[in-house]
Amino acid sequence: MSQEINNREYRQEILRDLIMQLHDGKTLEEVKPVFEKHFKHVSASEIAEMEQNLIMEGLPPEEIQRLCDVHAAVFKGSIEEIHQDQRQKVENQPGHPVTFFKKENAAIEALVEERIRPHLEAFKENDSQENILALREDFNLLWDIDKHYKRKENLIFPFLERYGITGPPQVMWGVDDEIRADIKTVQKMLAEYSGEREVLVEKIEETLEQVSEMIFKENSILLPMTLDN
């Protein structure tokens, strides 16, 4: 038992060090080999504990939030692998809240990939009024993501906080707010469009990437963490 505890503490130190290296300016590619050398599997609960410890040590949640996309990318493969069986079990429970959130994420992903991105490609070729209108309608639909985030913030976050897990909800809530603000910005830019196509395209692509990253974080980190408690 003591050996298991020591190993876990050792892993926590390495995970913490990776995040701090990223915080100090190292790139994803620089820290990724270290991760791959020391870990075959990383659980969502270990990530939660790491973030919690960093916050308790005085690192503001906003600092961890800035690293959220980066460390999600570092951990992505291992998280998906370790939770594969768990995901399959949940998918066999249609009424499970986690299944509901996953279905919503699937709908959001379909909207992004099957509708918004094709319309964005059309807009890149021709910034006609028709293509602008299509994107405006798309982002009006995407704004429904606010309802999804509110359900997460009002149902899942309080549940995790009852188990003392406060770090990840704080970080994720901050990213949710960033995505909401980005969607509103895109809506405003589309409504007031006057020819700055490259600027608008860049903002749309940035926003869609944030949305896609949040889908991954929910499906592979937050929801498995919920099942663990």
Q: How many domains does the chain have?
A: 2
Could you give the C-alpha distances from 2 to 47, 55, 211, in angstroms and in order?
A: 21, 26, 41
pLDDT digits (tens, 9 = 90+) for 57-98: 766 766 666 556 555 665 565 555 444 555 555 555 556 678
Judgement on whether residues 76 and 115 belong to the same structural domain of the protein: no
Euclidean distance between the first and the last CA atom of the chain, given in angstroms as a whole number: 21
Judgement on whether residues 215 and 103 belong to the same structural domain of the protein: yes
Do residues 180 and 150 make contact, with C-beta atoms less than 8 angstroms apart? Answer: no
Q: What is the residue whose two structure tokens read 């700055």?
A: 196
Judgement on whether residues 15 and 99 belong to the same structural domain of the protein: no
Q: Which residue has the higher pLDDT, 34 or 173?
A: 173
Judgement on whether residues 105 and 11 belong to the same structural domain of the protein: no
Residue 102: pLDDT over 70: yes
Judgement on whether residues 44 and 106 belong to the same structural domain of the protein: no
Q: Which residue has the higher pLDDT, 19 or 190?
A: 190
Judgement on whether residues 6 and 57 belong to the same structural domain of the protein: yes
Tell me how far apart the alpha carbons of residues 68 and 1 are, in angstroms, rounded to a whole number: 32
Tell me how far apart the alpha carbons of residues 16 and 178 are, in angstroms, rounded to a whole number: 25
Single out the residue in 52, 82, 112 at which a domain terminates. 82
Do residues 225 and 168 make contact, with C-beta atoms less than 8 angstroms apart? Answer: yes
Single out the residue in 58, 82, 106 at which a domain terminates. 82
Q: Which domain holds residue 16?
A: 2-82
